[in-house]
Chain A
Amino acid sequence: MQVFFTLTRRELATYFVSLTGYVIIAAATLLVGTSFVVLLRNMGNESSPMPITEIFYLTPFFWIILLLATPVITMRLFALEKYSGTYETLMTTPVSDVQVVSAKFTAAWLFYLVMWLPMLACLYVVQHYARQSGALEPGTVGGMYLGIALVGALFLSLGCLASALTSSQMVAAMVSLTLGVGLFTLAFLPERLETGTHWQAQVLASFALFRQLHDFARGVVDTRSVVFFLSLTFFFLFLTLRAVESRRWK
Chain B
Amino acid sequence: MDNDPMIEVVKLTKRYAGHTALADISFTVGRGEIVGLLGDNGAGKSTTMRILSGFLPATSGTARIAGRDVFYDSREVRRRIGFMPENNPLHTEMRVREYLKFRARLKGLSWARSRARVDTVLAQCSLTEVSQRIIGQLSKGYRQRVGLADALVHEPELIILDEPTIGLDPHQIRSVRQLIKSLAGSHTVLISTHILSEAEMMCNRMMIMLGGRILAADTPDNLQNLMAGRGQVIAEIAAPVTELNASLAALANVETFDVSPAEGDFHRCAMTPRTGCDVRPEIFSLTRERGWALRELTRSRNSLEDIYMQVTKPKEEEEG
Contact = CB atoms under 8 A, between A and B. Distances in A.
B306 interface: no
A89 B57 contact: no
For the side of the interface on B, what is the size category?
A: 20 to 34
Interface in A185-205: none
Chain B interface, >50% SS class: loop
Interface stretch (B35-43, B76-84, B308-316): B76-84
Nearest to A5: B105
Nearest to B111: A2
B244 to A, nearest CB: 62
Interface in A25-82: none
A91 B55 contact: yes
Contact of B57 (A3, A7, A17, A249): A249
A2 B85 contact: no
Contacts of A84: 89, 92
Chain A interface, >50% SS class: helix
Interface in B60-86: 71, 75-76, 78-79, 81, 83-86
Contact of A92 (B54, B57, B86, B94): B54
Given A91-B55, A96-B75, A7 B85 contact: no
Interface residues of A, number: 23
B71 to A, nearest CB: 8
B183 to A, nearest CB: 18
B89 A92 contact: no
A223 interface: no
The 8 closest A-B pairs by CB, nearest first: A85-B89, A6-B105, A94-B78, A92-B53, A94-B79, A92-B83, A86-B89, A88-B85
Interface of B: 50, 53-57, 71, 75-76, 78-79, 81, 83-87, 89-94, 102-103, 105-108, 150
6 contacts: A85-B87, A88-B89, A89-B85, A89-B90, A93-B103, A94-B107
Given A17-B94, A89-B83, A89-B85, 20 more contacts: A2-B105, A3-B106, A6-B105, A7-B106, A10-B91, A17-B93, A84-B89, A86-B89, A88-B55, A89-B89, A89-B150, A90-B106, A91-B54, A91-B55, A92-B81, A94-B75, A95-B106, A247-B56, A248-B71, A249-B57
